[in-house]
Structure 1
Amino acid sequence: MAGSLRIWIFTVFVVGLIDSLEASMRPRVSFPQGSLERGLSVYHSSTVKNTTTLLLSSDANTLFVGARDSVLSLDVSQPDNITLKDKLQWTPSKDNLDKCKITSKTVCDCGNFIRILQFLNSTHLYACGTNAYGPQSIIIPADSLKARRDKKDAKNCCPYSSTQRNTATIVDEELYTATNIGYFGDKVISRCLSKGKRNNLVLDSEPKLLNAPVFISSTHISSEGKILLFFTELGDLFGDLFVKSFTVSRVAQVCTDDNGGHRVLQKRWTSFAKSQLVCQQGDELQFNVLQDIVTLLDDDSPDNTLFYGVFTPQWSLSSGQSAVCAFSLGDIKVAFSGQYKTFDNLNCWSRHSNGDGKLGKCGLFNDTDSVLNTVKKTFLTEHAVRPVGNKLLLSSTKELYSRLAVQRIRAANGQKYTLLYLLTESGFLHKVVLLDKGPHTIEEIQIFKQPQIVKNLILSSSKSVIFVGSSEGVIRVPVSSCSVYPNCAECVLARDPFCGWDSENGVCTTVSSTRPNLQQDVEDGNVTEQCTEFINTAAGPATVTRTAQLNDIVVLPCQSRSRLAEVTWRFSDNSVVSQFPYMHQANGSLTFRVTPDTVSTYRCVSEELGFRQTIVSVSVTLPVTPRSFPYPSQQHPDITRDSNKVTEMEPIPKDEILFDETEPTEGKKTAWTTGTDSGSGIQTRNNPMNSAEKDVCISKKSYYAEMVSFCLLFVICLCLFIASVVLWRHSMRCNRTTSEKKPKDSETDNIWQTELEDKQTPSS
């Protein structure tokens, strides 16, 4: 019994924890595709497909796009429009196409997919395409894509396939790339376009260097003179937990000054090392599959540069679990300068002491052959890189995140906040701010109606927009739209670092240095403190009257703008509407059947972060029909209870007494008296009326006669039914008696048969 109780308590705790985590990640506001409040700019062309490789100019006015069989330059300087500036058509040759159709797995892959698009320098672009499994590269002037250019073979530098991920970075006009090469998809990390006497470098063919990697991203760390590469591969868990199929996320390094060894590791990397990235909190299950990672530089303190990555667990992808972890450059440096694992001839890893501190350092290409022989097999760090604070920044059991962008901005109070833009597999972009109390999802915007297989994100901090590349086109999304919040309360409750309430102009506007006195509370969303004037002057919504017949089913809609608000229905006295006979729908609406007891005034109230406001107020009433008067010639007005004007009518004689035979509404007793008003002889009600109402007598239609007729008919039918049952039972009893008795004992049934026998018998 005690064990069952403990299991029950643990289950309740886990369910509550999951619910709380999901509540923190639930987007507060959702904007469907095509919403006027969250307008998106789209570039789409029926002749251009797979617009997934994106490169933004330094002034953020031109977006270069690598597509299938073409390179585009788009004008994105206008906030509401994306136009085509220039286009380079680049198709593979007929020979390459014919060869690709024979050897490739899919004919769809036999095109020229632009997979690398980088700035070679301030004036030229470097573009590389698959070219139907014959990779080719070109150098193009950025201001004129159609200018003369030379095509060069790029078999060891560019990907062969359009379906496999790759990454590339150009430093000092030299290309550092990680990609698949050849028809069999061999993976390499290489340097191409090396200048002067510098060698082009590739990774050695030693085992364990790379094991079925999927390259995700790369970045240049100028302060270290290194290129960091992020990827996943099939890794080794040491000791008793050796699992060959376990996916491991990695960070690897190569030095930009590397030129390969003289006799050992010639034209090979001498600075390659890799370490494990662990996205895990405590002893919980690892989120071990890296989906995307971006860099947030810190120019003041390079060691505080952070890398934000989206991870998913390997064995529960179908559940849609995702997590975001941040890793610091300082922790990565510690891992690469620490102890290592060395790979011996017995296919085993063993610990290698890095006593001299050379492993993980740059400049080893000039070292001795003995050191380089050690480097060949000693490239895996002993200690993994763990997230900042040893915890997850956020996690979700509902959404599968695939891409992200990150920026840090200053709020109205001067404090800096980190914002994450996460693209879901279902086609939504989530905007999340990281707070001291945990993540807060400000909004979600629907980008695609159908999931996209290939996609990419790029953020322009100067323009405050995000560009999303997909198979169908390019979409521009503003990072904020403060005007969607109509009042101070909504603006503060959004907890968006971009938005604050301008009380002078009465608008929610973007935070900037020119607007220092905006009302904003990103951490707590305290409306009471920030919106005092709004609370004191704001009037609730006008009550809407809805007339319905008895027994009608009424649905009162209530849509709260915030999905985090708790919505309740209340009566006019502020008491909560019960669960029965009312039905509270999941979308916030209230459904009930109209009876004299349910005719009332209903208010839909939302409460969020301690602030309560009425969204809608509805008064449900019955239609009022006039009673028949003694004199047919008299006319009377058709008046409802909410009428403010009453048409006068001739008074009823004093000796005419009227009784209200209907039930009163809202629990109030109603009676008619014979009292008069100033001798006019008008019959009045006991409840308060104004002077105009006292001149008119109104009551609801009586159903007394109908009820009497119904009861009488019911009694008659019941009597007939009982009589039929009695007669049927009597008939059945008689038949049973007849079948059991002999003929001679029946005096009534056989009387005619006896007389007939007497006549036939001769007399003696």
Structure 2
Amino acid sequence: MSTQRIYLLVFAPLSMEQRRPWPWATEVDSWSVVLLSVVWVLLARPAAGMPQFSTFHSENRDWTFNHLTVHRGTGSVYVGAINRVYKLTGNLTIQVAHKTGPEEDNKSCYPPLIVQPCSEVLTLTNNVNKLLIIDYPENRLLACGSLYQGVCKLLRLDDLFILVEPSHKKEHYLSSVNKTGTMYGVIVRSEGQDGKLFIGTAVDGKQDYFPTLSSRKLPRDPESSAMLDYELHSDFVSSLIKIPSDTLALVSHFDIFYIYGFASGGFVYFLTVQPETPEGVAINSAGDLFYTSRIVRLCKDDPKFHSYVSLPFGCTRAGVEYRLLQAAYLAKPGDSLAQAFNISSQDDVLFAIFSKGQKQYHHPPDDSALCAFPIRAINLQIKYRLQSCYQGEGNLELNWLLGKDVQCTKAPVPIDDNFCGLDINQPLGGSTPVEGLTLYTTSRDRMTSVASYVYNGYSVVFVGTKSGKLKKIRADGPPHGGVQYETISVLKDGSPILRDMAFSIDQRYLYIMSERQITRVPVESCEQYTTCGECLSSGDPHCGWCALHNMCSRRDKCQRAWEPNRFAASISQCMSLEVHPSSISVSEHSRLLSLVVSDAPDLSEGIACAFGNLTEVEGQVSGSQVICISPGPKDVPVIPLDQDWFGLELQLRSKETGKIFVSTEFKFYNCSAHQL
């Protein structure tokens, strides 16, 4: 029975009315999980010629994937989708499917109908997952959706059991925007204290209901009445920022899209894209908007948000500006990149993807760039901006929030690297961009996602594209920038790779997400290179030549790789073989041949000499020299009458591994062919 027929037998008997939702926290049984696992194994079998990747597919074409995160301790993969949150094993076998929708709702119901009755017409509404964060100390998952004005659930990591679903007060409604990729959250926690959730979100014109940026309490006790309350909230000062109605009156489509966020040192950072707000000029068409990508920084321990600073950022190459942020990822730098930035290999570096220009953010150009920003350089530029403002120079330059030019106030305040603001000169913007180092650009197949880690001292950057490909780039810094050394097709249907990518806990695999498929891709495929030269000229920092096994591999896959010349890491270390004499007469039999192997490992466990397919004899080893005996009378090749020589491959086979590991050409000649 074919795979396709098995698939049909599983699903065909069920009508739409008969189909039950997938198992969720209170509905999972062992047979359901077994059945689902079998189905996914069948669906995941690759077509002929496609790489064999582990995959997990959307159960319903319309219930697309939104977010992905990997637990750094257990390796479990958590996926946020429309109407579902999934828990998967590291090899993408389903463990739990938790239902989050669809439910009866209407975006105009405020407060939502789960709190009080609503007179609006209700329709069955999908729940888009907009936020998926692991709260590690408390062993729980925060999942926020688009239903009911954007309420969140805290789920137990083990089984996705609902710990709490706070929904009874306005602080619990984050945003009713039903598009993914518009919200980002960062959890920070000081030793021995409750956590805090910093959250930025698009608000879709509902600035009265939802702040665009806020910090909220995240108590240990899921039943705490303070869950998701603003960290500080009073008539005069609060832990939030709202988009002013005057800004929306001026730019009707104004919103702030939160693309990425992270904590580094004593700060929390958000990376945003937002329309520019030219002073006094009304813009009513979304197509007329110019967009700016910005870095927003806050101190972790600043509930008054006095430390709010926002600067534009991007990069350029050959006069082309890349200003539309697509994706970003915080990582450590490799040795050469750290040296280029004059930072430590323990410092943080932000890798970011930008599209060209500042127009059409929702349909960005294919021309895109991979850029790198040391966090230290970002902080330095923010410090200079603060110092300039506190010297009374210029304006606060934050028109969208302040609505007018506000002069910087001169104040004799020492501003060091940890300055967290006062009640003056805040919130602070700027117009001078933070410029990153452009590592790599492409004019087609727009880059859409990025992830990076350090392997053997190299920064390795993985970039997803609009057509479902994965680019592998070695980020060396100047003068070469980023070297693309491999591109693989991950999605045979050409679907775009979405923003979230994550490594497995052993960093051997990368999890990649499209709308309908999660794919586990090995970070390297060294085995595709079949010679030492191919292997060590590939540019892949994972790959070296395992000499006696005659294979390209990672160092940790090569037995006894630590021994001299067992594992070649540069092309100059590839073995070569010289034979003396390099040719003999066909009439000479059983001649002693001296073979010298350059860059040879220890050969003392034995070598066999193979003369093509003719014969194989034992070799006598002395260091890197091998003595072989040429073929006897019965094994000497027959040279055709119209030729005066015959060549074959003289190969050395390791008795330790059974593999042929080096070879050279050897000739038999026949001088009698020239006799009259």
TM more than 0.5: yes
Please report the RMSD computed on the Cα atoms of aligned residues, expressed in angstroms: 4.4
Superposed displacement of residue 204, structure 1: 4.5
Q: Does 1:381 align with 2:394?
A: no
Higher strand share: 2
Equivalent residue, structure 2, for 1:87: 97
Equivalent residue, structure 2, for 1:62: 76
Q: Does 1:177 align with 2:199?
A: yes
Following TM superposition, the consecutive aligned residue runs of length 4 or more in structure 1 with deviations greater than 6 angstroms are: 97-104, 207-210, 534-537, 642-646
Equivalent residue, structure 1, for 2:619: none
CA distance, structure 2, for counterparts of residue 296 and residue 305 of structure 1:
6
Q: Does 1:50 align with 2:64?
A: yes
Equivalent residue, structure 2, for 1:423: 464
Equivalent residue, structure 1, for 2:520: 476
- Asked if structure 2 preserves the Cα contact closer than 8 Å seen for 1:335 and 1:381, the reply is no
CA distance, structure 1, for counterparts of residue 416 and residue 292 of structure 2:
22
Q: Does 1:296 align with 2:296?
A: no
SS in structure 2 opposite 1:144? coil
Equivalent residue, structure 2, for 1:447: 490
5+ long unaligned stretches in structure 1:
1-32, 261-268, 411-415, 540-641, 647-687, 692-764
Equivalent residue, structure 1, for 2:455: 409
Equivalent residue, structure 2, for 1:120: 135
Superposed displacement of residue 97, structure 1: 8.6
What aligned pairs does 1:486-635 form with structure 2 within 5 A after superposition?
Answer: 486-512=530-556, 515-516=561-562, 517=565, 520=568, 526=571, 529-533=572-576
Flag the 1:422–1:332 CA change in 2: closer, same or farther, 3 A. same
Read off the aligned partner of 1:167 and give its amino acid letter: Y
CA distance, structure 2, for counterparts of residue 346 and residue 43 of structure 1:
48
SS in structure 1 opposite 2:429? strand
Superposed displacement of residue 137, structure 1: 1.4
Flag the 1:494–1:71 CA change in 2: closer, same or farther, 3 A. same
Read off the aligned partner of 1:515 and give its amino acid letter: A
Equivalent residue, structure 1, for 2:614: none
- Asked if structure 2 preserves the Cα contact closer than 8 Å seen for 1:116 and 1:126, the reply is no
Flag the 1:146–1:190 CA change in 2: closer, same or farther, 3 A. same
Superposed displacement of residue 47, structure 1: 3.9
CA distance, structure 1, for counterparts of residue 574 and residue 503 of structure 2:
33
Equivalent residue, structure 1, for 2:504: 460
TM-score by length of 1: 0.55
Superposed displacement of residue 361, structure 1: 5.7
Equivalent residue, structure 1, for 2:258: 215
5+ long unaligned stretches in structure 2:
1-45, 190-194, 220-225, 234-238, 390-394, 583-637, 643-669
Q: Does 1:330 align with 2:376?
A: yes
Q: Which one of 353, 356, 380 corresponds to residue 413 of structure 2?
A: 356
Superposed displacement of residue 180, structure 1: 2.1
CA distance, structure 1, for counterparts of residue 442 and residue 497 of structure 2:
21
Superposed displacement of residue 111, structure 1: 0.9
Q: Does 1:167 align with 2:181?
A: no
1:500-543: CA deviations, max 9, x gaps?
A: 11111111111239624465556xxx4xx332427989x9xxxx
CA distance, structure 1, for counterparts of residue 108 and residue 317 of structure 2:
52
CA distance, structure 2, for counterparts of residue 116 and residue 308 of structure 1:
21
Q: Which one of 313, 325, 331 corresponds to residue 277 of structure 1?
A: 313
CA distance, structure 1, for counterparts of residue 510 and residue 155 of structure 2:
25
- Asked if structure 1 preserves the Cα contact closer than 8 Å seen for 2:130 and 2:180, the reply is no
Superposed displacement of residue 161, structure 1: 1.4
Superposed displacement of residue 163, structure 1: 4.2
What aligned pairs does 1:14-163 form with structure 2 within 5 A after superposition?
Answer: 34=47, 38-47=51-60, 49-76=63-90, 81-96=91-106, 110-146=125-161, 149-152=164-167, 155-158=172-175, 160-163=177-180
What aligned pairs does 1:387-406 form with structure 2 within 5 A after superposition?
Answer: 387=436, 391-406=437-452
Superposed displacement of residue 168, structure 1: 0.7
Read off the aligned partner of 1:280 and give its amino acid letter: T
CA distance, structure 2, for counterparts of residue 358 and residue 175 of structure 1:
27
Equivalent residue, structure 2, for 1:203: 241
CA distance, structure 1, for counterparts of residue 156 and residue 577 of structure 2:
56
CA distance, structure 2, for counterparts of residue 351 and residue 363 of structure 1:
16
1:220-256: CA deviations, max 9, x gaps?
A: 11x2x21111112223689xxx999432221111122
- Asked if structure 2 preserves the Cα contact closer than 8 Å seen for 1:42 and 1:82, the reply is yes
SS in structure 2 opposite 1:332? helix
CA distance, structure 1, for counterparts of residue 463 and residue 578 of structure 2:
35
Flag the 1:37–1:484 CA change in 2: closer, same or farther, 3 A. farther
Higher helix share: 1
- Asked if structure 1 preserves the Cα contact closer than 8 Å seen for 2:275 and 2:292, the reply is yes
1:247-299: CA deviations, max 9, x gaps?
A: 22211111221222xxxxxxxx22211112131247x1211111111111479
Superposed displacement of residue 424, structure 1: 0.8
Flag the 1:194–1:502 CA change in 2: closer, same or farther, 3 A. closer
Read off the aligned partner of 1:308 and give its amino acid letter: F
Equivalent residue, structure 2, for 1:637: none
- Asked if structure 2 preserves the Cα contact closer than 8 Å seen for 1:37 and 1:484, the reply is no
Read off the aligned partner of 2:89 and give its amino acid letter: D
What aligned pairs does 1:249-260 form with structure 2 within 5 A after superposition?
Answer: 249-260=293-304
Q: Which one of 272, 281, 292 corresponds to residue 231 of structure 1?
A: 272
Flag the 1:450–1:51 CA change in 2: closer, same or farther, 3 A. same
TM-score by length of 2: 0.61
Flag the 1:361–1:519 CA change in 2: closer, same or farther, 3 A. closer
Across the two proteins, how many residue pairs are aligned to each other? 477
Flag the 1:41–1:505 CA change in 2: closer, same or farther, 3 A. same
- Asked if structure 2 preserves the Cα contact closer than 8 Å seen for 1:136 and 1:155, the reply is yes
